[in-house]
Amino acid sequence: MPPTHLHTLTKQWGYHAVKGYELNNNTWGLKHATSGGQRTHYDGPGPEGRGIAWSSDWEWQGGEHQVKSYVYGARQFDRPLLQDIASMPVDVAWRYDTDHIRANVAFDFFTDPDKKHANSSGEYEVMIWLACYGGVWPISEAKRPIARVNIAGYDWDLHFGYNHGGKMKVFSFIPAGPNIHHFEADMKEFFDYLVFHQGFPDRDQHLLIYQFGTEVFTGGPAFFEVPKFIAEVNTCG
Protein backbone atom coordinates (compact mmCIF):
# COMPACT_ATOMS: atom_id res chain seq x y z
CA MET A 1 0.00 0.00 0.00
CA PRO A 2 1.47 3.41 -0.95
CA PRO A 3 2.12 5.84 1.92
CA THR A 4 -0.18 8.71 2.82
CA HIS A 5 1.49 11.95 1.74
CA LEU A 6 1.39 14.75 4.33
CA HIS A 7 3.10 17.34 2.13
CA THR A 8 3.89 17.33 -1.61
CA LEU A 9 6.53 19.34 -3.48
CA THR A 10 5.93 19.98 -7.19
CA LYS A 11 8.14 22.96 -8.09
CA GLN A 12 11.66 22.58 -9.45
CA TRP A 13 13.38 23.50 -6.18
CA GLY A 14 10.46 22.65 -3.89
CA TYR A 15 11.68 22.50 -0.27
CA HIS A 16 10.25 21.26 3.01
CA ALA A 17 11.94 21.13 6.45
CA VAL A 18 10.70 19.20 9.47
CA LYS A 19 12.27 18.25 12.83
CA GLY A 20 15.92 18.55 11.78
CA TYR A 21 15.47 17.08 8.30
CA GLU A 22 14.73 18.57 4.89
CA LEU A 23 13.45 17.46 1.50
CA ASN A 24 14.24 18.92 -1.91
CA ASN A 25 12.44 18.19 -5.18
CA ASN A 26 15.78 18.87 -6.83
CA THR A 27 15.21 18.70 -10.59
CA TRP A 28 18.45 20.50 -11.41
CA GLY A 29 18.84 18.84 -14.85
CA LEU A 30 15.27 19.50 -16.00
CA LYS A 31 16.50 21.32 -19.13
CA HIS A 32 17.95 18.05 -20.51
CA ALA A 33 14.53 16.33 -20.64
CA THR A 34 12.21 16.36 -23.61
CA SER A 35 9.25 15.53 -21.36
CA GLY A 36 8.41 14.34 -17.88
CA GLY A 37 8.19 15.55 -14.32
CA GLN A 38 8.67 14.73 -10.68
CA ARG A 39 6.95 15.16 -7.33
CA THR A 40 8.37 14.60 -3.85
CA HIS A 41 6.35 13.79 -0.74
CA TYR A 42 6.86 14.06 2.99
CA ASP A 43 5.13 10.98 4.41
CA GLY A 44 5.70 11.59 8.13
CA PRO A 45 8.21 10.59 10.79
CA GLY A 46 10.13 7.34 10.54
CA PRO A 47 9.68 4.31 12.82
CA GLU A 48 9.14 5.18 16.51
CA GLY A 49 9.07 8.86 15.55
CA ARG A 50 12.72 8.93 14.52
CA GLY A 51 13.92 10.47 11.27
CA ILE A 52 11.59 10.91 8.31
CA ALA A 53 9.68 8.87 5.75
CA TRP A 54 9.40 10.27 2.24
CA SER A 55 8.82 9.30 -1.38
CA SER A 56 8.93 10.56 -4.94
CA ASP A 57 7.20 9.73 -8.22
CA TRP A 58 8.76 10.69 -11.52
CA GLU A 59 8.97 10.07 -15.26
CA TRP A 60 11.58 11.50 -17.65
CA GLN A 61 12.28 11.12 -21.35
CA GLY A 62 15.14 12.47 -23.47
CA GLY A 63 18.82 13.09 -22.75
CA GLU A 64 19.50 9.49 -21.75
CA HIS A 65 22.98 10.24 -20.43
CA GLN A 66 22.07 13.47 -18.60
CA VAL A 67 20.93 13.62 -14.98
CA LYS A 68 17.47 15.19 -14.58
CA SER A 69 17.20 15.24 -10.81
CA TYR A 70 18.63 14.26 -7.47
CA VAL A 71 15.61 14.19 -5.20
CA TYR A 72 16.79 13.83 -1.61
CA GLY A 73 16.18 13.89 2.11
CA ALA A 74 18.93 15.47 4.23
CA ARG A 75 19.90 15.80 7.89
CA GLN A 76 20.39 19.33 9.17
CA PHE A 77 23.47 20.09 11.29
CA ASP A 78 26.04 22.82 12.03
CA ARG A 79 28.73 22.04 9.40
CA PRO A 80 31.66 20.84 11.54
CA LEU A 81 35.15 20.07 10.32
CA LEU A 82 35.45 16.42 9.31
CA GLN A 83 38.23 15.89 11.87
CA ASP A 84 35.82 16.97 14.63
CA ILE A 85 33.12 14.43 13.70
CA ALA A 86 33.06 11.35 15.93
CA SER A 87 30.35 9.43 14.04
CA MET A 88 27.71 9.77 11.34
CA PRO A 89 25.24 6.93 11.98
CA VAL A 90 22.53 6.22 9.45
CA ASP A 91 19.66 3.76 9.17
CA VAL A 92 17.86 3.87 5.83
CA ALA A 93 15.49 1.65 3.87
CA TRP A 94 14.21 2.24 0.35
CA ARG A 95 12.50 0.59 -2.61
CA TYR A 96 11.68 1.24 -6.28
CA ASP A 97 8.51 -0.14 -7.85
CA THR A 98 10.24 -0.77 -11.21
CA ASP A 99 13.63 -1.77 -12.64
CA HIS A 100 12.96 -0.11 -16.01
CA ILE A 101 14.84 3.08 -15.20
CA ARG A 102 18.26 4.69 -15.51
CA ALA A 103 19.07 5.89 -12.01
CA ASN A 104 21.09 5.33 -8.89
CA VAL A 105 20.24 5.38 -5.18
CA ALA A 106 22.96 7.14 -3.24
CA PHE A 107 24.21 9.19 -0.34
CA ASP A 108 25.83 12.45 -1.40
CA PHE A 109 28.17 14.61 0.69
CA PHE A 110 29.86 17.90 -0.16
CA THR A 111 32.80 19.30 1.82
CA ASP A 112 34.74 22.56 1.57
CA PRO A 113 37.20 24.69 3.56
CA ASP A 114 34.56 27.47 3.61
CA LYS A 115 31.90 26.64 6.20
CA LYS A 116 29.47 29.00 4.42
CA HIS A 117 29.93 27.47 0.96
CA ALA A 118 26.71 26.67 -0.93
CA ASN A 119 25.57 23.10 -0.25
CA SER A 120 25.20 22.31 -3.97
CA SER A 121 28.94 21.78 -4.48
CA GLY A 122 32.30 21.92 -2.68
CA GLU A 123 35.98 21.18 -3.03
CA TYR A 124 35.12 17.49 -2.54
CA GLU A 125 32.08 15.33 -3.26
CA VAL A 126 31.76 11.88 -1.69
CA MET A 127 29.03 9.55 -2.95
CA ILE A 128 28.08 6.15 -1.57
CA TRP A 129 25.81 4.33 -4.00
CA LEU A 130 23.45 1.65 -2.73
CA ALA A 131 21.98 0.80 -6.13
CA CYS A 132 22.46 1.22 -9.85
CA TYR A 133 19.83 0.77 -12.58
CA GLY A 134 20.16 0.84 -16.36
CA GLY A 135 23.94 0.86 -16.51
CA VAL A 136 24.51 4.37 -15.14
CA TRP A 137 28.14 5.04 -14.22
CA PRO A 138 29.91 7.19 -11.63
CA ILE A 139 32.30 10.02 -12.42
CA SER A 140 35.52 8.10 -13.08
CA GLU A 141 38.71 9.62 -14.48
CA ALA A 142 40.32 6.21 -15.06
CA LYS A 143 37.07 4.61 -16.31
CA ARG A 144 37.68 1.86 -13.77
CA PRO A 145 37.88 1.56 -9.96
CA ILE A 146 41.01 2.84 -8.24
CA ALA A 147 40.51 0.44 -5.28
CA ARG A 148 38.22 -2.21 -3.81
CA VAL A 149 37.56 -1.79 -0.10
CA ASN A 150 35.42 -3.36 2.62
CA ILE A 151 33.49 -0.83 4.73
CA ALA A 152 30.44 -1.38 6.93
CA GLY A 153 30.41 -5.08 6.04
CA TYR A 154 30.20 -4.57 2.25
CA ASP A 155 32.71 -4.57 -0.60
CA TRP A 156 32.87 -1.35 -2.62
CA ASP A 157 34.57 -0.31 -5.85
CA LEU A 158 36.01 3.18 -5.41
CA HIS A 159 36.05 5.58 -8.36
CA PHE A 160 37.62 9.02 -8.58
CA GLY A 161 37.11 11.92 -10.97
CA TYR A 162 36.38 15.62 -11.33
CA ASN A 163 33.19 17.64 -11.72
CA HIS A 164 32.29 21.32 -12.16
CA GLY A 165 34.95 21.85 -14.81
CA GLY A 166 37.63 20.06 -12.82
CA LYS A 167 37.13 22.18 -9.70
CA MET A 168 35.48 19.48 -7.53
CA LYS A 169 37.17 16.19 -6.63
CA VAL A 170 34.67 13.32 -6.58
CA PHE A 171 35.00 9.97 -4.78
CA SER A 172 32.26 7.40 -5.49
CA PHE A 173 31.84 4.11 -3.61
CA ILE A 174 29.84 1.61 -5.71
CA PRO A 175 28.66 -1.71 -4.21
CA ALA A 176 30.61 -4.63 -5.66
CA GLY A 177 27.63 -6.91 -5.01
CA PRO A 178 23.84 -6.57 -5.38
CA ASN A 179 21.81 -3.48 -4.55
CA ILE A 180 21.55 -2.71 -0.83
CA HIS A 181 17.94 -1.97 0.19
CA HIS A 182 18.47 -1.59 3.93
CA PHE A 183 21.67 0.06 5.08
CA GLU A 184 22.70 0.72 8.68
CA ALA A 185 26.24 2.01 9.19
CA ASP A 186 28.52 4.79 10.41
CA MET A 187 29.19 6.93 7.35
CA LYS A 188 32.27 8.38 9.05
CA GLU A 189 34.02 5.08 8.19
CA PHE A 190 34.02 6.07 4.51
CA PHE A 191 35.71 9.37 5.29
CA ASP A 192 38.19 7.66 7.62
CA TYR A 193 39.18 5.38 4.75
CA LEU A 194 39.66 8.38 2.44
CA VAL A 195 41.78 10.17 5.06
CA PHE A 196 44.13 7.23 5.66
CA HIS A 197 44.32 5.82 2.13
CA GLN A 198 43.43 8.57 -0.37
CA GLY A 199 44.84 11.74 1.19
CA PHE A 200 41.49 13.34 2.03
CA PRO A 201 42.27 16.54 4.06
CA ASP A 202 39.79 16.23 6.94
CA ARG A 203 41.54 18.98 8.95
CA ASP A 204 40.34 21.76 6.63
CA GLN A 205 37.10 20.32 5.19
CA HIS A 206 33.71 21.26 6.61
CA LEU A 207 30.83 18.85 6.01
CA LEU A 208 28.25 20.91 4.11
CA ILE A 209 25.41 18.44 3.53
CA TYR A 210 24.42 14.87 4.43
CA GLN A 211 21.81 13.73 1.91
CA PHE A 212 20.25 10.53 0.62
CA GLY A 213 18.16 10.09 -2.48
CA THR A 214 17.99 8.96 -6.08
CA GLU A 215 19.87 10.46 -9.03
CA VAL A 216 17.61 10.07 -12.04
CA PHE A 217 18.40 9.95 -15.76
CA THR A 218 15.40 8.51 -17.67
CA GLY A 219 12.51 6.06 -17.37
CA GLY A 220 9.33 5.64 -15.45
CA PRO A 221 6.71 6.18 -14.41
CA ALA A 222 8.56 5.20 -11.24
CA PHE A 223 7.82 5.39 -7.53
CA PHE A 224 10.71 5.70 -5.08
CA GLU A 225 9.88 5.17 -1.42
CA VAL A 226 12.04 5.76 1.68
CA PRO A 227 10.04 4.51 4.68
CA LYS A 228 12.99 5.21 6.98
CA PHE A 229 15.82 7.75 6.89
CA ILE A 230 17.47 8.30 10.26
CA ALA A 231 20.80 10.13 10.31
CA GLU A 232 22.98 11.97 12.83
CA VAL A 233 26.22 13.96 12.88
CA ASN A 234 27.93 13.50 16.26
CA THR A 235 30.94 15.69 17.03
CA CYS A 236 33.85 14.94 19.34
CA GLY A 237 33.49 16.16 22.92
Report the distance separating Cα 128 and Cα 156, nearest Å. 9
Give the pLDDT score at 167. Answer: 87
| Under 8 Å between Cβ of 215 and 72 | no
Average pLDDT of the segment spanning 98-125: 96
Q: Whole-model pTM?
A: 0.96
Q: Is the dihedral of CA 223, 15, 72, 94 positive or negative?
A: negative
Per-residue pLDDT for 172 more than 80? yes
Peptide bond into 45 cis (omega under 30): no
Active site residue 232: no
22, 215, 225, 232: the catalytic one is 215
Report the distance separating Cα 147 and Cα 157, nearest Å. 6
Map out the domains of the chain with their CATH numbers.
Answer: 7-235 (2.60.120.180)
Average pLDDT of the segment spanning 203-220: 97
Most confidently modeled range among 8-12, 165-169, 233-237: 8-12
CA distance between the termini of the chain: 44
Active site residue 48: no
Q: Smallest Cα–Cα separation from 216: which of 92, 96, 71, 94?
A: 71
22, 125, 141, 184: the catalytic one is 125
Confidence of residue 164 (pLDDT cuts 50, 70, 90): confident
Report the distance separating Cα 184 and Cα 131, nearest Å. 15
Average pLDDT of the segment spanning 17-36: 95
Give the pLDDT score at 1. Answer: 64
